[in-house]
Amino acid sequence: MNRAAGILLPVASLPSKYGIGCFSQSAYDFVDWLKEAGQTYWQILPLGPTSYGDSPYQSFSTYAGNPYFISLEALVEEGVLTEEECDEADFGNKVNDIDYEKMYINRYPLLRKAYERSDISQNADYRRFVEENEWWLSDYALFMAVKERFGGRPWTEWAEDIRLRWGNAMDYYRRELYFDIEFQQYMQFKFFCQWRELREYANKKGIRIVGDIPIYVAMDSADAWAHPELFQLDRDNVPTAVAGCPPDGFSADGQMWGNPLYRWEYHRQTGYDWWMTRLWYCFQLYDVVRIDHFRGFDEYYSIPYGEETAVNGHWEKGPGIDLFRCMERRFGWHEVIAEDLGYVTDSVRQLVRDSGFPGMKVLEFAFDSRDSGSANDYFPHNYTENCIAYTGTHDNETIVGWFKNIMPEEREMARNYMCDHHTPEKLLYKSLIALVMRSVAKTCIIPIQDYLGYDNSCRTNKPSTLGINWRWRVQEKELSEDLQKEILAVTKRYGRMNWQ
């Protein structure tokens, strides 16, 4: 089994000219940079269009792509936008920050101009794309067009006839919003054309894409609106229970995610058809699929709808290995990563073992003074070959921020573990990265912020907070040749080079 390494960097966090990372030349340059750094994997976050809070884990669609990622430069080259129009748009003046409000206000009008100048209905490739993806695109495009008509309000607040998808209302809005619907389809066509080209380029360079599939869909999504039978909703399509996680040492009230829960018995009776379609779709988009919140397939936390906190929730049984046996029968073997973090029980561990998928090991979880025994799953000496090792994930502090914020006795634990009491703290992140890279784990993936030695001001996400997340971007100058050589050296040193 080949040892390998990769870097975690969301598409939105790429350097770019117009306010947010996208499928522009900067993405291709990053692929080249990864190749020269000896990397095999580029791990990203979900690519869907984001809703309130800007989280890629709360999307308007399971299948659609985020229009923000469409390269405006490519549209300029195509002749449907001008460079002056793009330069005049206000996307904010911070090169390392995403201003989502300005993005929403200014990017969509540019995309609308491009659509109106495109004569897209005469494009044979576009027509083929619409026909081949009609099974999800029709509902999504209508959903987004109607949402715009209702001032962006959630579908649960729309007029009853369209909220409940009465036939006459569906026909009316498809006629009334014809061009708005076509605009949504145009953006999806452009997104997927550009993504396919970028992924093919990466693969030719020997870089494999690790995608991410959230276990839940957002309540305010085309999926919940178009297929309420899949979820725990009542006859008026109001949730009876929602997703979250229980109180723990980090949150006395637990976490209220608010996603609708699945009717697992219904899914089982259909042979998990919706899930099989969802997984098949991800296998077309990515080389490796990371399944978020894997423990939810063993047991999921159910919170009665209307509760203000997660305190009164309870655990329910999920589909277990049955769903993944079905996947194996339908598609054969595919590379999947099980995100088995959080509160892990013996039954979750068994589900991961039964699936055969590699789980995740996060170094930051190892040095916990409340559980310092050698049985800790996250100590590198306890890793197995069939796992993916990280310093931290998009939800964690950077490794520099983490080391600064843990208790003194935990810092001492970490230094004792590494037999390193001499490295200055400002350089210790390099030792911590090396600790993960030299482990037996078949693959190590390091967030780019950790390679840069950045503190929590560059953190991607802090769970249970709003307004400060998903905003950080790396600058082009930070992806330097010196950093590339440093990453190449540590990758080569621990036998993780991509020799392709």
**190 shares a domain with 160:** yes
Q: What is the pLDDT of residue 500?
A: 82
The 3-state DSSP class for residue 7 equals strand
Question: Would 498 be classed as within a structural domain?
Answer: no
Choose, from 292, 298, 377, 397, the residue flagged as catalytic: 292
Last residue in a domain, options 330, 357, 384? 357
Beginning with the edge strand found earlier in the chain, give each strand of the sheet holding 443-447 in spatial order.
336-338, 288-291, 208-213, 41-43, 4-8, 443-447, 387-390, 359-362
- Tell me whether residue 455 is one of the annotated catalytic residues: no
Token couple for 234: 């009542």
Q: What SS3 class is residue 100?
A: helix
C-alpha–C-alpha distance, residues 377 and 282, integer Å: 29
Among 304, 336, 357, the domain-final residue is 357
Active site residue 395: yes
The domain tally of the chain equals 2
Residue 186 CA to residue 182 CA, distance in Å, equals 6
Same domain, yes or no: 299 and 200: no
Spatial distance between the Cα atoms of 317 and 296, rounded to a whole number of angstroms: 9
Contact 447, 393 (CB under 8 A): yes
Q: Is residue 176 part of a domain?
A: yes
Three-state SS for 424?
Answer: coil
Whether 117 and 250 share a structural domain:
no
Interatomic CA distance for residues 193 and 201, integer angstroms: 13
- Point out the catalytic residue in the list 212, 339, 340, 377: 339
Between CA 165 and CA 179 the distance in angstroms is 20
| Residue 265, domain member (yes or no) | yes
In this structure, the answer to whether residues 294 and 366 fall within a common structural domain is: no
Assigned domain for 500 exists: no
Last residue of a domain, one of 357, 383, 415: 357
Catalytic residue status for 119: no
| Same domain, yes or no: 212 and 235 | no
At CA 456, angle to CA 450 and CA 458, rounded to 5?
70
On whether both 341 and 370 belong to a single domain, the answer is no
217 belongs to a structural domain = yes
Q: Which run of H or E residues covers position 281?
A: helix 273-285
Are 38 and 187 in the same domain?
yes
Q: d(Cα 276, Cα 273) in Å, to the nearest integer?
A: 5
Residues 367 and 336 placed together within one structural domain of the fold: no
Residue 499: inside a domain: no
Instruction: State whether 93 and 113 are in the same domain.
Output: yes
What is the domain extent for residue 296? 227-357
For residue 38, give every residue at least 6 positions away whose Cβ sits within 8 Å of its Cβ, in sequence order, or none: 5, 487, 488, 491, 492, 496, 497, 498
Residues 101 and 200 in one domain: yes
Alpha helix ranges (H) inside 100-242? 100-118, 124-132, 134-149, 160-163, 167-176, 178-204, 222-226
10 Å CB burial of residue 81 (0-12, 13-18, 19+) is buried
106: CATH: 3.20.20.80
Consecutive 10-residue averages of pLDDT for the chain (500 residues): 93 96 98 98 98 92 98 98 97 93 96 97 97 98 98 96 97 98 98 98 98 96 98 95 84 88 98 98 97 96 94 96 97 95 88 96 89 70 96 97 96 95 96 98 98 97 89 98 98 95
The reply to whether 18 falls in a domain is yes
- Of 99, 161, 368, 395, the active-site residue reads 395
DSSP 447: E
Sign of the CA dihedral with 51 first, then 52, 55, and 57 last = negative
Q: Are residues 76 and 166 in the same domain?
A: yes
Distance CA 5, CA 16 (A): 25
208-213 vs 241-245, strand pairing mode: unpaired
Residues 307 and 417 in one domain: no
pTM of the model: 0.96
